Amino acid sequence: MKEIASMHHVEFSYDMEEEESSPMSTKALNNASFTLYEGEWLAVVGHNGSGKSTLAKLLIGLMFPSSGEVHLFSERLSEENLWETRSRMGIVFQNPDNQFVGSTVQDDVAFALENNGVPYDMMVKRVQEALEQVKMKDYINHEPHHLSGGQKQRVAIAGALAMHPELLILDEATSMLDPQGREEVIEIVKKLRSEINLTVLSITHDLEEVLLADRILVMNEGQVLMVGTPQEIFQQGTELEKVGLDLPFALRVSELLRATGVELQGNHMTEEELVNELWTFHFSK
């Protein structure tokens, strides 16, 4: 498998950067290492303050580690290759308000393309396409600051998609979307992955989204606590609750059912699996 990005023993603390405020006096990242492979979808989970956003910021070179290394597209990330590297990524942060730069939705989505010297005709086409993907084409001439919370998030996502990125980094990018909106974004990502070899790193609290990822990385107190497939990670059960995480719906309901005395064979992560077992062992007889 080809590596797209990796961190090697990365340390970071906000105190050392003067103009940055510090979330805590301890290290925001403490000896963090992981590898992201081409074409995979990695979900990053962890409680608030566990270091997820810091990880994302270091990965896109908004800040540099105090020790350790960040690698992207087989090169060590540095001031020199920062812009070239970023032009290959699409980035969406939690709160879109801080990200808008254009005076219209269209300008905003075009901004990064223009910076990267994408020719005008192609730019117009890509902007249209991206806005269509997130169902915001009707708002093309609106002012971004005058949109609703969820509409802003859609536009921010369009901005990242228009870049035609090789690596898409989403930091809580759907936190203000309604359930259907979330599903739509997940569908867009799935579709892109089937068309191009897109790699996705998604920081999220949405467990049902997490279940769709190829692998999950659990952050805790600035460290990478574990990395594994959803199966492997959710097998830890209550261990996860200790670090502030929730369990998927099917697992929670399974636990509740067991507590009422219903016997269940397996540990089911998806609703489908649970329905199947209930049907086979309890209803079909």
Partner 1 sequence: MDISLQQVGYLYAKDSPFEKRALQDVTATIPSGSYTSIIGHTGSGKSTLLLHLNGLLKPSEGIVQIGDTMITAQTKGKKMKEVRNHVGIVFQFPEHQLFEETVEKDIMFGPINFGVPKEEARARAHELVKLLGLPDDVLQKSPFELSGGQMRRVAIAGVLAFKPSVLVLDEPTAGLDPKGRKEIMELFHHLHKTESLTTILVTHSMEDAARYSDRILVMHEGTAVMEGTPEEIYSLEDQLHSFRLSVPRSVRFQRQIEKMSGQRFDRIALTEDTLAQELAKAIARKGERPC
What residues pair up with 201 in beta bridges, in sequence order? 42, 169
Q: Report the DSSP pairing between strands 29-37 and 215-220.
A: unpaired
Q: Is 179 in the site for ligand ATP (CB under 6 A)?
A: no
Q: Is 97 in the site for Mg ion (CB under 5 A)?
A: no
Give the whole-angstrom CA distance, residue 146 versus residue 71: 38
Give the whole-angstrom CA distance, residue 232 versus residue 206: 18
Nearest distance from C-beta of residue 206 to ligand ATP, angstroms: 16
Binding footprint of ligand ATP, residue count (CB under 6 A): 6
Q: Which token pair is 140? A: 């093309």
Nearer to ligand ATP, 146 or 258 (CB): 146
Nearer to Mg ion, 123 or 177 (CB): 177
Q: Is 237 in the site for Mg ion (CB under 5 A)?
A: no
- The residues, any chain, with a CB within 8 Å of residue 74's CB and separated by 6 or more, are 3
Site string for Mg ion, 142-161 (x = CB under 5 A): ------xx------------
* Nearest CA-CA partner of 249 in 217, 282, 274: 274
Nearest distance from C-beta of residue 58 to ligand ATP, angstroms: 30
Q: Is 33 in the site for partner 1 (CB under 8 A)?
A: no
Nearer to ligand ATP, 126 or 182 (CB): 182
**Sheet (strand 167-171) strand order:** 89-92, 167-171, 199-203, 41-45, 215-220, 223-228
Q: Is 154 in the site for partner 1 (CB under 8 A)?
A: yes
Nearer to partner 1, 76 or 282 (CB): 282
Residues that bind ligand ATP (CB under 6 A): 146-151
